[in-house]
Amino acid sequence: MLLLKNVDVFAPAPAGRADMLIAGGRIVRIEQDIRIAAGYCDTVDASALMAMPGLVDGHVHMTGGGGEGGYATRTPELVLSGAILGGVTTVVGCLGTDGVTRSLENLLAKARGLDEEGISTFIYTGYYGVPTATLTGSIERDLLLIDKVIGVGEVALSDHRSTQPTFDEIARLAAESRRGGILSGKAGVVNIHMGDGRRGLSMLRRILDETEIPPTQFLPTHINRNADLFAEGIAHAKAGGLVDFTTSSVPAFAEDGEVKCSRSLRLMLEAGVNVSQITFTSDGQGSLPLFDGEGRFERLGVGRVTSLFAAVREAVMDEGVPLETALQVVTSNPARILKLGGKGRLAAGADADVTLVDPATLEIRGVIARGRWMMRDGQLVVKGTFE
Query: Which residue from 219, 245, 214 is spatially nearest to 230, judged by alpha carbons?
Result: 245
Q: Looking at residue 197, what DSSP letter applies? A: -
Which amino acid, residue 83?
A
- Distance between CA atoms of residues 5 and 354, nearest Å: 14
Closest listed residue to residue 342, CA positions, set 96, 63, 25: 25
Distance CA 304, CA 307 (A): 6
Q: What is the DSSP letter of 38?
A: T
Q: What is the 3-state secondary structure (H, E, C) of 292-350?
A: CCCCCEEEEEECCCCHHHHHHHHHHHCCCCCHHHHHHCCCHHHHHHCCCCCCCCCCCCC
Query: Of 130, 137, 172, 135, which is closest to residue 153 (Cα–Cα)?
Result: 130
- Indicate which residue of 19, 57, 98, 283 is catalytic: 283
Q: Are 220 and 242 in contact (CB under 8 A)?
A: yes
Gap between the Cα atoms of 374 and 376, Å rounded: 7
Cα(125)–Cα(105) distance, integer angstroms: 10
Q: Is there a contact between 124 and 91 (Cβ–Cβ < 8 Å)?
A: no
The two most distant CA atoms of the chain are separated, in Å, by 69
Q: Report DSSP letters for 2-26, one per residue.
A: EEEEEEEEESSSEEEEEEEEEETTE
Known catalytic membership, residue 142? no
| 38 contact partners, CB below 8 Å, separation of at least 6 | none
Which are the catalytic amino acids?
A: 283
